[in-house]
Structure 1
Amino acid sequence: MARRKRMIYDPPGSRKRRRGSASHGSGEIFLSRRMFIAKAGVVAVFSGLAARLGVLQLVRGEEYKTQAADNVIRSELLPAPRGMILDRQGRPLARNRRAWEVRVVKGDLPLDAVEQRRVLDMLISALQLEDVVAIRPKGVPRGSRDTVLQRVVDMMGYRDQALIDREVQRWLREWPNKLVQVANVSLDDAARFRAASAELPGVVVMNEIDFLVENIWDKRLPIAVKTDVPREVALKLEANSMYMPGVYVDDTALAREYPAGEVMSHVLGYVRTIDGASLDDLRNRDVNNERIYDQNDRIGMEGLEQALESQLRGVKGTRSIEVDANGVVMRTVPSSEIPAQEGQSVRLTIDLELQNAVGNALRKGIERAAAGKEEVNRERAAENKEAWTVPNSGSAVAYDPRTGEVLAMVSYPYYDNQLFVTGISERKWSEYMAPEKGKAFLNRAVNELYPPGSTFKIFLAASALHHGTVQTSDTHVCRGAIRVPNEANLSQGLPMACWVGWQGGEHDALDLYGAIEQSCDTYFYNVAVSRTEMVYTPESVFYYDWNLLSEQVVSDTRHVFDGLGIEPLAEDMQNRFWFGKATEIEILGEATGLFPDPAWKEENIGDGDGWAVGDTLNVSIGQGETKVTPLQLTMNTAALANGGSFPKPHLVHEWIDAEGNARPVEVEEMGKLDIDSDHIEIVVEGMRRVVHVETGTANRTRISDGVFETKWPLTNPEAEEEILIAGKTGTAEFGQIDDIGARDSHGWFTCFAPLAAPEIAVSVVIEAGGEGSTYAVPVVDEILRAWFEINGTRQRGTVLSQGVMGQTGEASPTPDATPGATPAASPVPATPVAD
Structure 2
Amino acid sequence: MDTDSTHVRLSAIGIVAISLFLALFMRLWFLQGIDRQAFEAASVSNRVRVIHEEGPRGRILDRNGKILVDSETSIVVSLDREPLRKMKESERNTVFVSLADTLQQLGVPTKLSLIEKRFADLRYAPQEYVPIADDVDPSVEIYLMERAERYPGIIVERKAIRSYPYGNLAAHLLGYVGEINEKELVERGGKLPGSESPATTAPSASAPTTTAGTGSAKGSTASDSGARVTDYRLGDSIGKGGVERSYEADLRAVPGERTIEVNAKGDLVDVLSLESPVVGDDIWLTIDIDLQAHAERLLAAKIQDLRGRRDKQNNRLNAPQGSVVIEDPQNGQILAMASYPDYDPSVTVNGISQEQWAAFNDPNSGLPLVNWALQGAYAPGSTFKLYTAFAGYNSGYLNGGTEVVNDPGVYTIENCKGDKCEVRNAGSTPHGTVNMARALTVSSDVYFYKLADKFWNLTDQYGPTPIQDAAAEFGLGSKTEIPLAGENPGRLPTPASRKAAFEARPDLFMTGDWRSGDNINTSIGQGDVLATPLQLVNSYATFANGGTRYQPQIVTKVTRPRDLTLPANDPANYELIRQVEPVVQGTVQIQPDQYGKIYDGLLGVTQSAYGTAAASWQASKTAWPMAGKTGTAQVSKKADTSLFAAWGPAGTGVPAQYAISVVIPESGFGGEVAAPLAFRIMAPLSFGALLPACPTSDQDACAAAAEQAASASGNDVTSGAPD
State the TM bucket, normalised to the shorter chain: 0.7 to 0.9
Matched residues in 1 for 2:226 and 2:712: separation? 64
**Residue equivalent to 1:725:** 626
Q: Percent identical across equivalent pairs?
A: 27
- Residue 216 of structure 1: how far off its partner (Å): 3.7
Matched residues in 1 for 2:546 and 2:588: separation? 8
The answer on 1:74 being equivalent to 2:49 is yes
The answer on 1:393 being equivalent to 2:296 is no
Report if the CA contact (8 A) 1:260-1:809 is conserved: no
The answer on 1:113 being equivalent to 2:40 is no
3-state secondary structure, aligned to 2:349:
helix
**Residue equivalent to 1:450:** 378
**Residue equivalent to 1:9:** none
3-state secondary structure, aligned to 1:680:
helix
- Report the CA distance shift for 1:483/1:565 in structure 2 as closer, same or farther (over 3 A): farther
**Residue equivalent to 1:750:** 645
- Residue 122 of structure 1: how far off its partner (Å): 4.2
- Report the CA distance shift for 1:614/1:114 in structure 2 as closer, same or farther (over 3 A): farther
Query: Unpaired segments of 5 or more residues in structure 2?
Result: 1-21, 192-224, 504-508, 563-573
3-state secondary structure, aligned to 2:91:
helix
**Residue equivalent to 1:633:** 536
Matched residues in 2 for 1:375 and 1:398: separation? 29
TM-score by length of 1: 0.71
Matched residues in 2 for 1:768 and 1:131: separation? 44
The answer on 1:231 being equivalent to 2:123 is no
- Residue 56 of structure 1: how far off its partner (Å): 4.1
Return the index of the structure with the highest Cα Rg: 1
**Residue equivalent to 2:500:** 603
RMSD across aligned positions (CA): 3.2
Q: 1:770 is matched by which residue type in structure 2? A: G
- Residue 226 of structure 1: how far off its partner (Å): 3.0
3-state secondary structure, aligned to 1:404:
coil
- Residue 214 of structure 1: how far off its partner (Å): 2.4
Q: 2:658 aligns with which of 732, 756, 760?
A: 760
Q: 2:167 aligns with which of 254, 261, 269?
A: 261
**Residue equivalent to 2:19:** none
- Residue 322 of structure 1: how far off its partner (Å): 2.2
The answer on 1:570 being equivalent to 2:468 is yes
- Report the CA distance shift for 1:593/1:408 in structure 2 as closer, same or farther (over 3 A): same
- Report the CA distance shift for 1:809/1:472 in structure 2 as closer, same or farther (over 3 A): farther
- Residue 819 of structure 1: how far off its partner (Å): 6.6
The answer on 1:304 being equivalent to 2:304 is no
- Report the CA distance shift for 1:367/1:481 in structure 2 as closer, same or farther (over 3 A): farther
Q: 2:483 aligns with which of 565, 569, 586?
A: 586
The answer on 1:218 being equivalent to 2:125 is yes
**Residue equivalent to 1:202:** none
Report if the CA contact (8 A) 1:747-1:766 is conserved: yes
Report if the CA contact (8 A) 1:732-1:745 is conserved: yes
Q: 1:627 is matched by which residue type in structure 2? A: L
- Report the CA distance shift for 1:520/1:287 in structure 2 as closer, same or farther (over 3 A): closer
Matched residues in 1 for 2:144 and 2:227: separation? 39
3-state secondary structure, aligned to 2:468:
helix
- Report the CA distance shift for 1:494/1:437 in structure 2 as closer, same or farther (over 3 A): farther
Report if the CA contact (8 A) 2:634-2:640 is conserved: yes
Deviations 1:79-107, CA, capped at 9 Å, x for gaps: 23211101111111111001211111222
Report if the CA contact (8 A) 1:752-1:760 is conserved: yes
Correspondence 1:162-311 to 2 at 5 A: 207=114, 210-211=117-118, 213-250=120-157, 252-281=158-187, 283-284=189-190, 292-311=231-250
The answer on 1:496 being equivalent to 2:423 is yes
3-state secondary structure, aligned to 1:681:
helix
Deviations 1:558-590, CA, capped at 9 Å, x for gaps: xxxxx966422222222x221111111111121
Report if the CA contact (8 A) 1:129-1:209 is conserved: no
Matched residues in 2 for 1:318 and 1:775: separation? 56
Matched residues in 2 for 1:451 and 1:320: separation? 60
Matched residues in 2 for 1:273 and 1:56: separation? 45
- Residue 278 of structure 1: how far off its partner (Å): 1.8
3-state secondary structure, aligned to 1:462:
helix
Report if the CA contact (8 A) 1:227-1:255 is conserved: no
Matched residues in 1 for 2:376 and 2:665: separation? 11
Matched residues in 2 for 1:115 and 1:820: separation? 68
**Residue equivalent to 2:293:** 356
Matched residues in 2 for 1:288 and 1:348: separation? 24
**Residue equivalent to 2:619:** 713
Report if the CA contact (8 A) 2:84-2:153 is conserved: yes
Query: Unpaired segments of 5 or more residues in structure 1?
Result: 1-46, 133-205, 381-386, 541-562, 701-709, 717-721, 737-742, 789-793
Aligned length: 640
Matched residues in 2 for 1:395 and 1:253: separation? 35
Q: 1:749 is matched by which residue type in structure 2? A: F
- Report the CA distance shift for 1:68/1:783 in structure 2 as closer, same or farther (over 3 A): same
- Residue 632 of structure 1: how far off its partner (Å): 0.7
Matched residues in 1 for 2:115 and 2:657: separation? 51
Matched residues in 1 for 2:61 and 2:698: separation? 11
3-state secondary structure, aligned to 1:441:
coil
Q: 1:750 is matched by which residue type in structure 2? A: A
**Residue equivalent to 1:6:** none
Deviations 1:381-411, CA, capped at 9 Å, x for gaps: xxxxxx5451131011000011111000011
- Residue 687 of structure 1: how far off its partner (Å): 0.9
The answer on 1:524 being equivalent to 2:448 is yes
3-state secondary structure, aligned to 1:711:
helix
Matched residues in 2 for 1:637 and 1:419: separation? 36
Matched residues in 1 for 2:404 and 2:422: separation? 21
**Residue equivalent to 2:6:** none
- Residue 610 of structure 1: how far off its partner (Å): 1.0
Deviations 1:520-560, CA, capped at 9 Å, x for gaps: 1111111222265389xxxx9xxxxxxxxxxxxxxxxxxxx
- Report the CA distance shift for 1:407/1:289 in structure 2 as closer, same or farther (over 3 A): closer
**Residue equivalent to 1:781:** 679
Q: 1:280 is matched by which residue type in structure 2? A: V
**Residue equivalent to 2:257:** 318
Q: 1:772 aligns with which of 662, 670, 673?
A: 670
Report if the CA contact (8 A) 1:91-1:808 is conserved: no
Matched residues in 1 for 2:370 and 2:708: separation? 27
Matched residues in 1 for 2:400 and 2:377: separation? 32
Matched residues in 1 for 2:123 and 2:688: separation? 59
Matched residues in 1 for 2:674 and 2:370: separation? 20
- Report the CA distance shift for 1:818/1:63 in structure 2 as closer, same or farther (over 3 A): closer
Report if the CA contact (8 A) 2:327-2:658 is conserved: yes
TM-score by length of 2: 0.82
**Residue equivalent to 2:197:** none
